[in-house]
Amino acid sequence: MLERLPEFLSNHPILTGALLAVVGMILFTEFRRLTRKYRTLSPSEAVRVINQDDSLVLDVREDNEIASGRIGGAKHIPVGSLQKRMDDIAQYKDKPVVVYCRSGNRSATAASQLTSAGFQDVVNLQGGIQAWQSAGMPIKKK
């Protein structure tokens, strides 16, 4: 059966290319996951970090998304402004920083930016504020 594999691969270049692309994406994603310098925690695990003294909760959503509610005590800096405003949160470089957005994607970008800037204990809230609300955690509207 394996002796026919080269024939199959040469007869189906599109399938072969698609297979290689998918395998490449999987390997790239896993490599990035294993080499990232921040943690990803569920809402219940993140609560333990948030309850520590001197931790920072950082909301990186856009201004128009804040009206739907936020985690109490969170500092708001949109992800697009984070690089310019690192000095605003520099006192938290050696303290826990929990970053969140709507679904967890933009906060992963922000978490990478923070670790690159020298922040030592960065946590990305898995699933963002949507997961927070789904877990029945409180939000503050205002």
Q: Which of 101, 123, 125, 131 is catalytic?
A: 101
Query: Is 60 within 8 Å of 99 (Cβ atoms)?
Result: yes
Backbone phi, then psi, for 119, in 5-degree steps? Answer: -75, 135
**91 given a catalytic annotation:** no
The residues near 3 (Cβ < 8 Å, ≥ 6 apart) are none
Q: Which residue has the tokens 């691969």?
A: 9
Query: Checking DSSP bridges between strand 56-59 and strand 39-41, what pairing results, if any?
Result: unpaired
The residues near 63 (Cβ < 8 Å, ≥ 6 apart) are 76, 78
Q: Is the dihedral of CA 92, 98, 100, 104 positive or negative?
A: positive
Q: How far is CA 36 from the centre of its chain?
A: 10
Q: Which residues are catalytic?
A: 101
